[in-house]
C-alpha cells in the first residue's frame, strides 16, 4: 500500500506552545501543574502529560468549580488551555491563589481581542461556531452579553434585532466556505456589518491538504484525532465532501484493516492536537499492508 501523509498533519503551533508551557513547569519540578479542562483535545496526549505530572481538573467546557487541594499550593500552577477562557473564568482561576499562566493560542487571543474591542464600542457580536465548544464559550465572555452564536442561515434569520453596530467572527476551526456563505447572508440583513475571517491558518492548511490528498490519487483517507477535536471532525467531513471513504480513528488500534486494505493509495492526515507518535504508528501499520 502506498501511504501519503499530509504535510500539515499533527500539532499546530498554538497546541505545541500550550504543551511546552505546561511541560516547562513540570520539568522544573513544580507540582501540581493544573490545566483547567483538557489542555488539548487528544486523550492519548493528555495521558502522556498526566504521567509527566500535569493534572487536568474541571470539565471539558471550563465552566465547573474546581476541586483543588490547598496543600502545597505555593508550588502549584494553573495553566489555561489552548482554547482560551472567558474573562469571568480568568478572574475565578486567578482567585484560587496559585501561579496563573495563560496558554491560550495566540490566534484565539486575537479573536477574543476583536470581540472585546467591538463590544466596548457597542457592537453586537455574531460568532460562527459550535455553541458548546470551549473556544466559543470563552469568546462569548468578551461580548458583554451581546454575543450570538450561529451555525446556519436559519440561525441568522432567527437573530433578534441587533442594531446598527454588528460584527462577525468565527471559531478558529470552521470551514471557510461556510463562513463566507453565512457572512454574505448576514451582510444582506446588516449591510454595515464588520466581518473578520478568524479561521486560523493552521485550519486552512489542513483543509487544503485534504483536497490535495484527493488530487494526488488517494482512494481513501485516514483522519487521526480526538472525537471532541473540532478541527479533526471537520477534516473527516471534508474527506467525505471529496467523495472518498474516511476512516476517523484516535489510534492505530482502531484501524479497520480488512476494509482499508482494499485500497492501493491511502492518505493520512491528523488534527491539530494529534501527537506525531500516533501519526507515525498509523503510517507504519498502513505501509506494511500489501
Cis peptide before 32 (omega within 30 of 0): yes
- State the Cα–Cα distance between residues 249 and 269, nearest whole angstrom: 11
Inter-residue contact 248 to 270 (CB < 8 Å): no
DSSP state of 57: E
Measured CA to CA in angstroms, residue 120 lies from 16, 73, 76, 145 at distances of: 32, 36, 34, 11
Phi, psi of 287 (to 5 degrees): -65, -20
The CA-atom distances, in angstroms, between 18 and each of 40, 232, 238 are 8, 18, 27
- Provide the grid cell at 2: 502506498
Grid cell in block for residue 106: 495566540
Residue 91 corresponds to which cell in the numbers above? Answer: 478572574
- Beta carbons of 127 and 199 less than 8 angstroms apart: no
Strand, coil or helix: 119: helix
Residues in the chain: 290
Can 135 be counted among the known catalytic residues? yes
Contact call for residues 205 and 176 (beta carbons, < 8 A): no
Q: Which of 135, 144, 164, 240 is catalytic?
A: 135
- Active-site positions? 135
Amino acid at each position: 500500500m502506498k501511504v501519503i501523509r499530509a504535510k500539515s498533519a499533527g500539532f499546530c503551533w498554538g497546541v505545541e506552545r500550550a504543551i511546552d508551557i505546561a511541560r516547562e513547569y513540570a520539568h522544573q519540578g513544580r507540582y501540581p501543574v493544573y490545566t483547567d479542562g483538557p489542555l488539548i483535545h487528544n486523550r492519548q496526549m493528555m495521558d502522556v502529560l498526566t504521567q509527566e505530572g500535569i493534572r487536568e481538573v474541571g470539565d471539558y467546557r471550563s465552566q465547573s468549580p474546581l476541586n483543588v487541594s490547598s496543600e502545597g499550593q505555593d508550588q502549584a500552577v494553573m495553566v489555561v488551555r489552548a482554547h482560551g477562557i472567558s474573562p469571568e473564568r480568568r478572574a475565578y482561576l486567578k482567585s484560587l491563589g496559585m501561579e496563573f499562566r495563560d496558554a491560550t493560542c495566540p490566534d484565539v487571543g486575537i479573536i477574543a481581542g476583536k470581540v472585546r474591542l467591538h463590544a466596548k464600542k457597542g457592537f453586537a457580536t455574531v460568532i460562527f461556531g459550535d455553541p458548546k465548544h470551549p473556544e466559543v464559550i470563552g469568546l462569548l465572555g468578551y461580548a458583554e452579553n451581546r454575543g450570538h452564536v450561529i451555525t446556519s442561515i436559519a440561525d441568522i434569520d432567527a437573530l433578534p434585532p441587533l442594531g446598527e453596530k454588528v460584527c462577525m467572527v468565527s471559531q478558529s476551526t470552521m470551514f471557510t466556505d461556510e463562513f463566507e456563505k453565512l457572512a454574505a447572508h448576514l451582510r444582506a440583513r446588516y449591510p454595515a456589518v464588520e466581518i473578520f475571517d478568524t479561521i486560523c491558518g493552521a485550519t486552512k492548511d489542513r483543509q487544503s491538504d485534504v483536497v490535495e490528498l484527493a488530487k494526488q490519487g488517494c482512494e481513501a483517507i485516514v483522519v487521526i484525532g480526538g472525537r471532541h477535536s473540532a478541527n479533526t471532525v471537520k477534516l473527516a467531513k471534508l474527506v467525505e465532501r471529496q467523495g472518498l471513504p474516511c476512516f476517523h480513528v484516535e489510534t492505530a488500534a482502531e484501524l479497520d484493516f480488512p476494509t482499508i486494505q482494499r485500497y492501493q493509495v491511502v492518505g493520512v492526515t491528523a488534527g491539530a492536537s494529534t501527537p506525531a507518535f500516533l501519526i507515525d504508528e498509523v503510517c507504519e501499520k498502513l505501509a506494511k499492508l500489501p
